[in-house]
Structure 1
Amino acid sequence: MNICIVGQYPPQLGGISTYTANVKKELERLGHNVYVLTYPGNIQRDDNVFEADTINIPGIRGLSFILSSYRILLNIVDKYDIEVIHANYILPPALVAVLVKRKRDLRIVTSVHGSDMNILADNFLLKPFIRYTLKNSDEVYFVSRKLYEKSLLLDIDDIKEKSTITPNTVDVNKFDENKSGHNPLREKYGKPLVMFIGNLVKQKGLEYLLEAKSLAETDYTLLIYGDGTEYDNLKKIIEDKKINDAYLLGKTYAPEKIIPQADVMVLPSVSEGASIIALEAMACKRAFISTDTGNIRDVITDYENGIIVAPKDAKGLSREIDRLINDEKLREKLGKNARETIKANYSKIRIPYIE
């Protein structure tokens, strides 16, 4: 089968990029021909990966992607005899796909990942485009049941019939504990390490993580990996509040090497779909704390394979970090159970359109 994946793709960071890379890898392993249309990556791309010119300014980026990618996608469809377009994120990737479908006989699969349903669908200007895109998709995949349930509120006639829950997964061979015992980050900072990895955007709740650090009663180093619109604000918070041992370290392209060095991984989001970094942290046997957002209760049983705190509760988050820093046995228990959970339930990717 000839398939075109549309959406974020490495070296872009984040859950969607990880997902599209995993889908491409699995499809190719099964013998399918896979092409990708994505955003600029400032690297030399493989021959089957194409970029749409975009203006990387919030509010303009999406529109520029639509204008640039429509003609490119149409050309890919014609040149490579594409049968399925698998669009990741409703706006703009899936919208472009359904517009191309008006010109060509195609099967459109839309994967809904989180903020496209949790945030964009609540915008009265964007909601009609969300409805149009999902209505004209042949199949819709949701990475969590909560996202699917929210889609039912959009009053789309056949949304139930064409929807499938497809949880995110992780490569448990790539993401594993640090078996070498070598921990250069611990050697560098000399203290227990608490880490966040992800996009530095408002919905990740990082200001509450920094507040939790300022309230800490234990001595640890907080490492924040990522880039995004909140970078300058977070830097200002650290400086203004004089938060010690908190560092913004920019993007990491090798989370599988960073995560195993953490004592505690944290996801402080105020809004989430289905976090892939959560699965990666758990696969690495890390003690993991998440806010009660998205599908996290489908993955975590509190104090069994992770810890759940309320969103925006900096005091509660600080208390649980302190607890884990002080309790090595609890960290080991949570980490061991976490990896078992991932291996049992989140290690095999499912792609229904090839089943």
Structure 2
Amino acid sequence: MNSRKMKVLHAIRQGKIGGGETHVLDLVQELNKADFESVVLAFTDGPLITELNKLGIKTHVILTEKPFNISVWKKVKQLMVEERIDLLHAHGTRAQSNTFWGAKKLGIPIIYTVHGWSFHPNQHALVKKMRILSERFLVGKADATICVSANNLAEGKSNFNMDRAVVIKNGINFSKFNADFPFKNLRASFDINEESLIVGYIARITAQKDPFTFIEAVAKVPDDLNIKYLMIGDGDLKAQSVELANQLKVGHKLIFGGFRQDIPELLNIFDVYCLPSLWEGLPIGLLEAMAMRKATISSAVNGTKEVIDDQLNGLLIEPKDAEGLANAIIRLAAEKEFRVELAKQAEIAVKKDYSISKMTLQIEDLYKKIKTDKSL
């Protein structure tokens, strides 16, 4: 490697903070500053950019919400030239589709991280076929593809060539997500007393995260169990979710918290964390809840099944099963010892396999290998 630091451009689809964006935020802080210099490109502005700037990480925003937007490709290439980029690390489909052209023109090696494929079982067959073709194309443009779960890799392999792919599991910052840290108690800010059990959902309120099933489950749990429910997040289904909560008359026990960045403090007051997704790559929010020693209930979709051992370190339910989710909530409310044991085992499992330091070392090794070989 040259004596000059390797300059890495991390491209991410948006400046809002979701799973992939959290991953980038953690990664650029953890990378060895003696060997690597990070620059971040996002395709919308938002809290991620603000946070990175506070940390002294150089950022750029080139506006587009479309994948394969040819009109921004030259701007991206120019940015790579001006910043003297040595390696492109594209996080997600939109980022890869709008950056590969510039990198290829300049002979810059490309790493593509798949935080869950853009194709999934809930799509119309034609849409899914088009997405598979586009992912095959994007993987083909990368010198290496990182899959965040073994399931991601297997799913890719079943559809196209993945010879230049590796699995590097997402990692959690255990200093930030530390169950023993004396966090401020946020219960009072939501007007929730100490006796109430708190069941929470922290995710983008979108079709993937299936907020409707969560709300329908809330409606099926008896009121006399003294449970309060928090839904933290924003998204295109937020207004419909509020409307559904009103229709089902659960407004008295379901609180919508909006987008927040104080996730460890929020998780600290949860007793149970729910993730009723319809599909997942490797759910960072679930790993964060486990690191905070929380009992979890998740839908048994591929990426999640890789993390949760049902009945041992969390509970799994079928996707879209409001009845099953309600029964799981009732069980964890009634069986405190079981809930506490699940939470304990969750923390042990996540600390064993999903540390940010382990993830970062693997990524650093890949950067050096790709820069040297431009191949696996």
Kindly indicate whether residue 89 of structure 2 is the aligned counterpart of residue 81 of structure 1: no
Secondary structure of 1:281's counterpart equals: helix
The residue type paired with residue 242 of structure 1 is K
TM-score w.r.t. the length of structure 1 is 0.90
Matched, 1:22 2:22: no
CA distance in 1, matches of 2:368, 2:253: 48
In the alignment, structure 1 residue 288 sits paired with structure 2 residue 296 = yes
String of CA shifts for 1:253-308, please: whole Å, max 9, x gaps: 11011111101000011111110001000000011111101322221211221111
RMSD of Structure 2 on Structure 1 (CA):
2.2
Counterpart in 2 of 1:226?
A: 233
Structure 1 residue 174: Cα displacement = 0.5
Question: Do structure 1's residue 206 and structure 2's residue 208 form an aligned pair?
Answer: no
Indicate which of 3, 8, 21 corresponds to 1:3: 8
Verify: 1:141 aligned to 2:146, yes or no.
yes
- Given that 1:186 and 1:193 are in contact with CA atoms closer than 8 Å, whether structure 2 keeps it comes out as no
Q: Is the 8 A contact 2:151 2:306 kept in 1?
A: no
- Asked if residue 180 in structure 1 is aligned to residue 182 in structure 2, the reply is yes
In structure 2, the CA distance between the partners of 1:182 and 1:131, relative to structure 1 (3 Å rule), is closer
SS of 1:247 mapped into structure 2 = strand
Q: Report how far residue 28 of structure 1 moved.
A: 4.5
**What amino acid does structure 2 have at the position aligned with 1:307?**
L
- Equivalent residue for 1:333? 341
Tell whether the 8 Å contact from 1:85 to 1:107 is kept in structure 2 after alignment: yes
The aligned amino acid for 1:305 is N
Supply the distance in 1 between the matched residues of 2:62 and 2:295 (Cα, whole angstroms): 39
Cα 1:223–1:115 shift into 2, 3 Å: farther
Q: CA deviation at 1:316?
A: 1.0
Q: Which residue of 2 aligns with 1:40?
A: 44
The CA distance in 2 between the partners of 1:125 and 1:181, in whole Å, is 46
TM-fit CA distance, 1:123: 2.7
2:312 aligned partner: 304
Matched, 1:151 2:184: no
Q: Write out per-residue CA displacement over residues 152-187 of structure 1, whole angstroms, 9 at most, x where no aligned residue.
A: 23333xx2x200011111011110225538533167
1:342 Cα deviation from its structure 2 partner: 1.3
Q: TM-score, normalised by structure 2?
A: 0.85
Measured in 2, the distance between the counterparts of 1:270 and 1:186 equals: 33
Structure 1 residues 172 and 181 mapped into 2: Cα distance closer, same or farther (>3 Å)?
closer
Where structure 2 has 5 or more consecutive residues not aligned to the other structure, the ranges are 1-5, 370-376
Aligned counterparts of 2:202 and 2:33: Cα–Cα separation in 1: 28
- For 2:374, the equivalent position in structure 1 comes to none
| Aligned residue type for 2:175 | N
Cα contact 1:186–1:261 (8 A) shared by 2: no
Shift, 1:31, TM fit: 3.2
Query: How many angstroms apart in 1 are the aligned matches of 2:149 and 2:127?
Result: 18
Corresponding position: 1:114 with 2:122: no
The CA distance in 1 between the partners of 2:237 and 2:136, in whole Å, is 30
Structure-2 residue corresponding to 1:250: 258
Instruction: List per-residue Cα deviations over 1:299-342 (Å, max 9, x = no partner).
Output: 12112211111111111111111111122212211111111111
Q: Secondary structure at the match of 2:31?
A: helix
Could you report, residue by residue, the CA deviation over 1:233-256 in whole angstroms, capped at 9, with x for unpaired residues? 101101111113112211011101
Q: Secondary structure at the match of 1:248?
A: strand
Residue 35 of structure 2 aligns with an amino acid whose one-letter code is G
Relative to 1, partners in 2 of residues 1:180 and 1:155: Cα closer, same or farther, differing over 3 Å?
A: closer
Structure 1 residue ranges without an equivalent (≥5): 55-60
Give, in whole Å, the separation in 1 of the partners of 2:146 and 2:293. 28
Other structure's SS at 2:305 match: helix
Q: Report deviation, 1:41.
A: 2.4
Percent sequence identity is 23
Deviation at 1:40, TM superposition (A): 2.7
**Alignment match of 1:66 (pick from 69, 87, 111):** 69
Structure 1 residue aligned with 2:171: 169
Distance 1:212 1:7, change over 3 A: same
